Amino acid sequence: MFKIDPRSSTPIYLQIVEKVKENILKGILELEEKMPSVRELAKMMTINPNTIQKAYAELERQKVIVKIRGKGTFVSADYNGKKDEERMKALKDLFKKGIVEARYLGLKKEEVINMIENILEELKGDK
């Protein structure tokens, strides 16, 4: 389902969170679609269920998915567009870090913009 790198420094559960969000944007996971259960996904990915559990909890906290008792877990119908100030700051920091790294890799301004545009393209839709 999602490619996970167990050697990465970012925890597995966060990798899952990112991949889920990415797949939703790409349309691979559709809105309101049912997510695999924790156990199911754990088996599919041969990952500790506790880890999946933690990922789902985080996704629910971010309102990306919704748990409905007795029915299962679903992709949230609408992703909230409220501009949480803290998250905005974190986002800017993230980009800054990326751009600093880009500079140290010798990338020019245009190359960076290009890279960004490619990724934007990759995540279909413009909403």
Partner DNA sequence: GTGGTCTAGACCACG
Partner DNA sequence: GTGGTCTAGACCACA
Stretch that binds DNA, among 50-58, 77-85, 91-99, 104-112 (CB under 7 A): 50-58
Instruction: Tell me whether residue 117 is exposed, middle or buried, using C-beta atoms within 10 angstroms of its C-beta: 0 to 12, 13 to 18, 19 or more.
Output: exposed
Query: Is there binding between residue 56 and DNA (CB under 7 A)?
Result: yes
Radius of gyration of the chain from its Cα atoms, rounded to whole angstroms: 17
Query: Is there binding between residue 70 and DNA (CB under 7 A)?
Result: yes
Query: Is there binding between residue 67 and DNA (CB under 7 A)?
Result: yes
Q: How far is CA 102 from CA 18, 59, 108, 122, in A?
A: 21, 29, 8, 20
- Angle made by CA atoms 118, 27, 2, in degrees to the nearest 5: 85
Query: Is there binding between residue 47 and DNA (CB under 7 A)?
Result: yes
Smallest separation (angstroms) from a copy of itself to the CB of 50: 10
Figure out which of the listed residues 3, 5, 7, 69 binds DNA, where binding follows CB under 7 A. 69
d(C-alpha 32, C-alpha 45), whole Å: 22
Smallest separation (angstroms) from a copy of itself to the CB of 43: 18
Smallest separation (angstroms) from DNA to the CB of 126: 26
